[in-house]
Amino acid sequence: MSARMTLRILSYAVVSTFFLWNLSAQDQYSYEGVPVCGMCHRTAKQGEQLQIWQKSAHSQAYKALLSDKAKAIAKEKGLGSPEKEDACLKCHVTGYNLPAARLGKRFSMEDGVQCETCHGPGSAYKSMKIMRDQKLAVENGLQLHTNGEKYCVTCHNSESPTFVSFDYAAAWAKIKHPVPSK
């Protein structure tokens, strides 16, 4: 084998290792759950974000799967119990298909569509030191959406058996949760 070929193989190995390391680093983030996020995001200083979520349909998304209506829809679609079906859980629950190692001690699927559904698993950005620096928080996995509508329609779309229409502006008005200006 030529020196050039050896160098090329070695270069591919280094790049591949770096790429795989980055993927595995992302996979190491765990979902912490509403109680962890809510510790800081319940205060007036933080815009009472926890309470906004608690009053939203997102907080009831898993419970909706336990209803008679959900069971009837699942039966009509030839599915089993909606609270166990991937087709339902993918939009009604955060982290439904992840190994237990990626779910923190205070995480609960029953919390439905919670903070980390949109903002990503919080294990690496949950500390006050990191959260005080938005750039650092983003570097540690915090997701901030510049196009919320595009993200929301991954669930709020015609694939849902109960979909009628989706008015992003009206929906966002119900759940927006900004941090008040200082």
| 86-130 pLDDT tens trace | 999 999 999 988 999 999 999 999 999 999 999 999 999 999 999
- Residue 80 has a pLDDT of 96
* The token pair that represents 5 in the structure block: 């070929």
How many percent of the chain have pLDDT more than 90?
80
The model's confidence at residue 12, banded by pLDDT at 50, 70 and 90, is: very low
Q: Write down the CATH number for the domain with range 31-175.
A: 1.10.1130.10
Cα–Cα distance, 164 to 57 (Å, whole number)? 16
Q: Look up residue 156 and give its DSSP letter.
A: S
6 pLDDT exceeds 90? no
Q: Is the pLDDT of residue 24 over 60?
A: no
Q: How far is residue 95's CA from residue 108's CA, in Å, rounded to a whole number? A: 9
- Euclidean distance between CA atoms 50 and 41, whole angstroms: 6
Among candidates 6, 37, 47, which has minimal Cα distance to 117?
A: 37
Q: Is 171 exposed, middle or buried (0-12, 13-18, 19+ CB in 10 A)?
A: middle
